Every structure is written in C-alpha cells, then in structure tokens.
C-alpha cells in the first residue's frame, strides 16, 4: 500500500503565479512584446485543469514549482554561463514531462539577451500606479 498526498489549491496558485512571473519579469528581458504575445497564443507554459490532474500529487506539484523557480533563477542571472545549460535542460525536460510547453533552447536566451536592449514592455508590471 502506498500513501500519496494530493497537491493543494495553494500549490496550483503558486504554479500559476510563477508562470505569470515568467511572462511579466523574465520574458521581457529577452523578447519583444509581439513575441511574448505569440507565446501566449502558442500556450507556452499554459496550465489547464488537465495539467493539474497530471501533477496532482504533492511531489509532482513541487517538481513543477522547483523547475519553474530554477528556470527563473537561471534566466534572471546577469550573465548566462554555459555551465547553466545542463541544469536548464533538465528543468525544461521536467516541465515537458508534465505536459507544459516550453519550446526554448538555452542558446536562444543567450542570443536574445545579447540582442535585447529595450526595457519597455506592456508585460512588465508597472513600478507605480496613478490612482484617481
């Protein structure tokens, strides 16, 4: 007999929050608004009810969260060193095992980082808000 603990709604919220963070804080470092909009259309990192059924145990949900957090840490680093490549690939593979679509190679981010120079994006959360 094996006891399995189900994932919690707060874990599902955390996963969705990490995906939103990637769209609003990580992708704008590398891609234009038009490209990010296409990622939404292609359902990059899109989660559905089926996905949450696929990672319905605590262990599975933690693996997804850890993979997303690791990718965020790598991609937010000031320089993308080659020694991050295998760790990046391992975590992308983990996400793909759970059915999350993340079609990027590590080298794409290295190249995009060298080309991206504008920090203005509709996806970046505003630093301040005007209340009227």
pLDDT tens for each residue of 42-100 = 999 998 777 666 666 778 889 999 999 999 999 999 889 999 999 999 999 999 998 89
Q: Using 50, 70 and 90 to split pLDDT, how confident is the model at 11?
A: confident
- pTM, two decimal places: 0.81
Per-residue pLDDT of 83-92, as tens digits, reads: 999 999 999 9
Q: Are residues 104 and 30 in contact, defined by beta-carbon separation less than 8 angstroms?
A: no
Measured CA distances, 103 to 58, 93, 129 (Å): 25, 10, 34
């Amino acid at each position: 007999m094996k006891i399995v603990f189900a994932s919690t709604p707060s874990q599902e919220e955390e996963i969705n929050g990490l995906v939103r963070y990637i769209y609003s804080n990580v992708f704008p470092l590398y891609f234009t608004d038009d490209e990010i909009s296409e990622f939404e259309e292609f359902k990059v990192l899109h989660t559905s009810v089926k996905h949450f059924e696929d990672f319905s145990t605590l262990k599975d949900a933690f693996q997804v969260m850890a993979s997303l957090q690791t990718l965020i840490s790598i991609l937010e680093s000031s320089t993308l060193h080659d020694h991050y490549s295998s760790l990046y690939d391992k975590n992308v593979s983990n996400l793909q095992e759970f059915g999350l679509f993340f079609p990027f190679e590590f080298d794409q981010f290295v190249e995009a980082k060298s080309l991206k120079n504008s920090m203005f994006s509709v996806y970046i959360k505003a630093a301040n808000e005007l209340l009227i």
